[in-house]
A and B are shown apart, each in its own frame.
Chain A
Amino acid sequence: MDSASRIRVLPENLANKIAAGEVVQRPASALKELVENSLDAGARSILVDLESGGARRIRVRDDGEGMGRDDALLAFERHATSKISSEKDLHAVVTLGFRGEALPSIAAVSKVVLTTRRRGEPLGSEVRIEGGRVIRVVEMGAPEGTEIDIRSLFFNVPARRKFLKTKNTEFSRCIEVVSRAAMAHPGTEFVLRHGDRTVLDLKPTQKRLERAAELLGKDSLPHLIEMPEAERDGIRLGGWAGAPTLTRSNRDSQYFFVNGRPVRDRLLVHAISQAYRSFLPGGRHPVFALFLDIPHEEVDVNVHPAKEEVRFRRGGAVHDFVYESVMSRLGSPSRRPRLILHKPNGPETPMPPPGASRAGGFGGPGQGLGRGPALLRGGGYIPRMDGGTETRVQAAGPLPVVAAGIQPLDAEIENLPVNGEAADPAIRQLPHGSFPLDKVLVPPDPSCPIRLSECRYMGQWAQCFLLFESDQGLVFVDQHAAHERVLYNRFRDQFRTGVVERQAALVPQTITLRPEEALRLDEHAETLERSGFELESVGVGEYLVRAVPALLADRDPAGAVRRVVEGLADLDEPMSFPDLIDGIIARMSCKGAIKAAHSLHPEEVASLVEEIDKTPGRWTCPHGRPIMLLMTEGPVRRKFLR
Chain B
Amino acid sequence: MDIVISKETLHRALQTVQGVVESRSSAMPILQNVLLSTEGKKQVRLLATNLDIGLRGVFEAQVTKGGSVTLNARKLFDIVRELPDADIRLVEEDGQWVRMTCEKSSFRFPGLPPSDFPTVPKAGDSEPQKVPSAVLGDMIRKTMFAISQDETRYTYNGVFMESEGDKLRIVATDGHRLALIERPNTGAEFKNGVIIHKKALGEIVKLFTEEETDVEIFLHENHVIFRSGDIELSARMIDGDFPKYRQVIPGDNNNHITVDRDQLLHALRRVSLLSNEARMVKFVFTSGQLVLTTNGSDAGEAEEVLASDYSGEELIIGFNARYCLDVLGILDEQNIRFELKDSLSPGILKPEDAEGYTYVIMPMRV
The residues of A with any CB-CB pair to B shorter than 8 Å are: 494, 498-509, 547, 549-551, 553-559, 584, 588
When the two chains form their complex, are residues B277 and A502 in contact, meaning their CB atoms are under 8 A apart? no
Given A503-B364, A504-B363, A507-B248: A554 in contact with B280 (beta carbons within 8 A): no
Q: How far is the CA of A132 from the CA of B365 in the complex (A)?
A: 68
When the two chains form their complex, are residues A507 and B298 in contact, meaning their CB atoms are under 8 A apart? no
Partner of A556, one of B150, B298, B346: B150
Q: How far is the CA of A226 from the CA of B21 in the complex (A)?
A: 58
Q: Closest residue to A504 on the B side, CB-wise?
A: B362
Query: Is B293 engaged at the interface, CB distance under 8 Å to the other chain?
Result: no
Given A550-B280, A555-B150: A504 in contact with B174 (beta carbons within 8 A): no
Q: How far is the CA of A588 from the CA of B320 in the complex (A)?
A: 18
By DSSP majority rule, is chain B's interface helix, strand, loop, or mixed?
loop
Q: Mark B247-276, 1 if CB is under 8 A from A, else 0.
A: 010000000000000000000000000001
Closest 8 CB pairs of A and B: A550-B278, A504-B362, A501-B278, A556-B152, A507-B243, A506-B362, A507-B175, A501-B280
When the two chains form their complex, are residues B148 and A554 in contact, meaning their CB atoms are under 8 A apart? yes
Q: How far is the CA of A549 from the CA of B173 in the complex (A)?
A: 18
Q: Closest residue to B319 on the A side, CB-wise?
A: A503
By a CB distance below 8 angstroms, the chain A residues around B243 are 507
By a CB distance below 8 angstroms, the chain A residues around B362 are 503-506
Query: Is B360 engaged at the interface, CB distance under 8 Å to the other chain?
Result: yes
Query: Is B344 engaged at the interface, CB distance under 8 Å to the other chain?
Result: yes
* Residue of A494, A550, A558 with highest tally of chain B CB at under 10 A: A550
Q: How far is the CA of A549 from the CA of B364 in the complex (A)?
A: 9
Partner of A501, one of B153, B174, B177, B364: B364
When the two chains form their complex, are residues A509 and B366 in contact, meaning their CB atoms are under 8 A apart? no
The residues of B with any CB-CB pair to A shorter than 8 Å are: 148-150, 152-153, 173-178, 243-245, 248, 276-280, 296, 298, 318, 320, 344, 346, 360-366
Q: How far is the CA of A557 from the CA of B362 in the complex (A)?
A: 15
Q: How far is the CA of A299 from the CA of B346 in the complex (A)?
A: 49
Q: How far is the CA of A507 from the CA of B176 in the complex (A)?
A: 7
When the two chains form their complex, are residues A509 and B277 in contact, meaning their CB atoms are under 8 A apart? no
26 contacts between A and B (CB under 8 A): A498-B296, A499-B296, A501-B278, A501-B280, A502-B364, A502-B366, A503-B176, A503-B362, A503-B364, A504-B176, A504-B344, A504-B362, A504-B363, A504-B364, A505-B362, A506-B360, A506-B362, A507-B243, A507-B248, A547-B365, A551-B277, A553-B175, A554-B149, A556-B150, A556-B152, A558-B153
- 8 further A-B pairs in the complex, CB-CB below 8 A; given A504-B176, A547-B365: A501-B276, A502-B366, A504-B364, A505-B176, A549-B278, A554-B174, A556-B153, A584-B277
By a CB distance below 8 angstroms, the chain B residues around A507 are 173, 175, 178, 243-245, 248
Partner of B365, one of A501, A506, A557: A501
Q: How far is the CA of A119 from the CA of B296 in the complex (A)?
A: 72
Min C-beta distance of A580 to chain B, whole Å: 13
Q: How far is the CA of A251 from the CA of B365 in the complex (A)?
A: 43
Partner of B364, one of A506, A508, A509, A550: A550
When the two chains form their complex, are residues B298 and A553 in contact, meaning their CB atoms are under 8 A apart? no
By a CB distance below 8 angstroms, the chain A residues around B148 are 554
Partner of A558, one of B152, B279, B280, B360: B152
When the two chains form their complex, are residues B175 and A504 in contact, meaning their CB atoms are under 8 A apart? no
Min C-beta distance of B366 to chain A, whole Å: 5
Q: How far is the CA of A558 from the CA of B364 in the complex (A)?
A: 17
Partner of B320, one of A508, A550, A559: A550
When the two chains form their complex, are residues A501 and B152 in contact, meaning their CB atoms are under 8 A apart? no
By a CB distance below 8 angstroms, the chain B residues around A584 are 277
By a CB distance below 8 angstroms, the chain B residues around A494 are 298
Q: Closest residue to A498 on the B side, CB-wise?
A: B296
Q: Closest residue to B298 on the A side, CB-wise?
A: A494
Q: How far is the CA of A499 from the CA of B365 in the complex (A)?
A: 10
Min C-beta distance of B194 to chain A, whole Å: 19
Q: Closest residue to B365 on the A side, CB-wise?
A: A502
By a CB distance below 8 angstroms, the chain A residues around B178 are 506-507
By a CB distance below 8 angstroms, the chain B residues around A556 are 150, 152-153
By a CB distance below 8 angstroms, the chain A residues around B364 are 501-504, 550
By a CB distance below 8 angstroms, the chain A residues around B173 are 506-507
By a CB distance below 8 angstroms, the chain A residues around B320 are 503, 550, 553
When the two chains form their complex, are residues A553 and B176 in contact, meaning their CB atoms are under 8 A apart? yes
Q: How far is the CA of A555 from the CA of B153 in the complex (A)?
A: 10
Q: How far is the CA of A509 from the CA of B176 in the complex (A)?
A: 11
When the two chains form their complex, are residues B150 and A506 in contact, meaning their CB atoms are under 8 A apart? no
* Residue of B178, B276, B298, B363 with highest tally of chain A CB at under 10 A: B276
Q: How far is the CA of A553 from the CA of B362 in the complex (A)?
A: 11
Partner of A509, one of B149, B153, B245, B363: B153
By a CB distance below 8 angstroms, the chain B residues around A550 are 278-280, 320, 364
Q: How far is the CA of A553 from the CA of B366 in the complex (A)?
A: 14
Q: Closest residue to B175 on the A side, CB-wise?
A: A507
By a CB distance below 8 angstroms, the chain B residues around A557 are 175
Q: How far is the CA of A507 from the CA of B362 in the complex (A)?
A: 9
By a CB distance below 8 angstroms, the chain A residues around B360 are 506
By a CB distance below 8 angstroms, the chain A residues around B366 are 499-502
Partner of A505, one of B149, B175, B245, B279: B175
Min C-beta distance of B360 to chain A, whole Å: 6
Q: How far is the CA of A279 from the CA of B145 in the complex (A)?
A: 38
Min C-beta distance of A499 to chain B, whole Å: 5
By a CB distance below 8 angstroms, the chain B residues around A588 are 277
When the two chains form their complex, are residues B176 and A506 in contact, meaning their CB atoms are under 8 A apart? yes
When the two chains form their complex, are residues A506 and B277 in contact, meaning their CB atoms are under 8 A apart? no
Q: How far is the CA of A388 from the CA of B97 in the complex (A)?
A: 74
Min C-beta distance of A382 to chain B, whole Å: 43
Q: Closest residue to B243 on the A side, CB-wise?
A: A507
Q: How far is the CA of A287 from the CA of B280 in the complex (A)?
A: 43
Q: Closest residue to A502 on the B side, CB-wise?
A: B365
Q: How far is the CA of A498 from the CA of B366 in the complex (A)?
A: 10
Min C-beta distance of B63 to chain A, whole Å: 50
Q: How far is the CA of A501 from the CA of B295 in the complex (A)?
A: 12
Q: How far is the CA of A499 from the CA of B318 in the complex (A)?
A: 14
Min C-beta distance of B273 to chain A, whole Å: 15
Q: Closest residue to B279 on the A side, CB-wise?
A: A550
By a CB distance below 8 angstroms, the chain B residues around A551 are 277-278
Q: Closest residue to A505 on the B side, CB-wise?
A: B175
By a CB distance below 8 angstroms, the chain B residues around A503 are 176, 278, 320, 362, 364
Min C-beta distance of A565 to chain B, whole Å: 16
Q: How far is the CA of A140 from the CA of B10 in the complex (A)?
A: 105
Q: Closest residue to A553 on the B side, CB-wise?
A: B176
* Residue of A498, A508, A549, A584 with highest tally of chain B CB at under 10 A: A498
Min C-beta distance of B65 to chain A, whole Å: 51
By a CB distance below 8 angstroms, the chain A residues around B149 are 554
By a CB distance below 8 angstroms, the chain A residues around B276 are 498, 501
Q: How far is the CA of A502 from the CA of B154 in the complex (A)?
A: 23
By a CB distance below 8 angstroms, the chain B residues around A509 are 153, 175
When the two chains form their complex, are residues B365 and A504 in contact, meaning their CB atoms are under 8 A apart? yes
By a CB distance below 8 angstroms, the chain B residues around A502 are 364-366
Min C-beta distance of A487 to chain B, whole Å: 12
Q: How far is the CA of A554 from the CA of B174 in the complex (A)?
A: 8
Q: How far is the CA of A507 from the CA of B174 in the complex (A)?
A: 8
By a CB distance below 8 angstroms, the chain A residues around B279 are 550
Q: How far is the CA of A466 from the CA of B364 in the complex (A)?
A: 43
Min C-beta distance of A250 to chain B, whole Å: 32
Q: How far is the CA of A11 from the CA of B280 in the complex (A)?
A: 71
* Residue of A499, A509, A554, A588 with highest tally of chain B CB at under 10 A: A554
When the two chains form their complex, are residues B153 and A506 in contact, meaning their CB atoms are under 8 A apart? no
By a CB distance below 8 angstroms, the chain B residues around A549 are 278
By a CB distance below 8 angstroms, the chain B residues around A554 are 148-150, 174
Min C-beta distance of B255 to chain A, whole Å: 18
Q: How far is the CA of A436 from the CA of B104 in the complex (A)?
A: 55
Q: How far is the CA of A498 from the CA of B277 in the complex (A)?
A: 12
When the two chains form their complex, are residues A506 and B298 in contact, meaning their CB atoms are under 8 A apart? no
Q: How far is the CA of A584 from the CA of B279 in the complex (A)?
A: 14
* Residue of A551, A553, A554 with highest tally of chain B CB at under 10 A: A553
Min C-beta distance of A138 to chain B, whole Å: 72
Q: How far is the CA of A504 from the CA of B360 in the complex (A)?
A: 12
Q: Closest residue to B361 on the A side, CB-wise?
A: A506
